[in-house]
Amino acid sequence: MQAQSPNTVTSTARCQHRTAAGRQCRSLASDPSSQLCPHHAATAREQDFREVLTRDAFDFQRPQGVNNSLGALYNLLAEGRISPRRASVLAHISSLLLRTLPAIDYDNEHYTYDDDEPDAETEEQAVAESAASPAPQPVAPGKEPLPKTAEEFAAAGLNRKPN
């Protein structure tokens, strides 16, 4: 610890941020309310924004969560606490997140990823086949068995002769 002369900046005028080791930031505090330098004041605000914007966001996995986050973003912008530029980028990301949700729902409804073999049957085909043949049959009458791999499926399609 070095001795402080009367001319050195007093510790209260300095940024009150301290490192994990307890060392005080050397920059001047610019904001009297937070007693932080511009850099650490901005860092503190960003952490605050993140908490506010993700509090009710449900990890952005539900439309209601994205809606909640956008509402919080609106309030931050209306209060002048976040820059329009940053708010604009966050709103755009929210829009992208929202747009992927229906695609994820569609995937979850139509595909199962835990099966070893790809399930090529649509639900309608499965329903029609089960109605037509009550006894379980691996292949419906008059139908070729489905190829095991995507490559075989593509090759079968290309080599198919016109009826």
User: How many other CB atoms sit within 10 Å of the CB of residue 88?
Assistant: 13
Segment 30 to 69, residues that bind Zn ion, using CB under 5 A: 37, 40
Task: Report how many residues bind Zn ion under the rule CB under 5 A.
Answer: 6
Please say which residue, 17 or 87, places its beta carbon nearer to Zn ion. Answer: 17
Q: How far is the CB of 62 from Zn ion (least distance, A)?
A: 38
Q: Cβ(76)–Cβ(68) under 8 Å?
A: no
Which segments of the chain does DSSP mark as H helices, in order?
A: 38-54, 63-78, 84-110, 123-132, 150-159
Segment 3 to 32, residues that bind Zn ion, using CB under 5 A: 15, 17, 25, 27
Q: How far is the CB of 81 from Zn ion (least distance, A)?
A: 19
DSSP assignment, residue 161?
A: P
Q: If you compute the radius of gyration of the chain from its CA atoms, what whole number of angstroms results? A: 30
Please say which residue, 18 or 50, places its beta carbon nearer to Zn ion. Answer: 18
Binding site for Zn ion (CB under 5 A): 15, 17, 25, 27, 37, 40
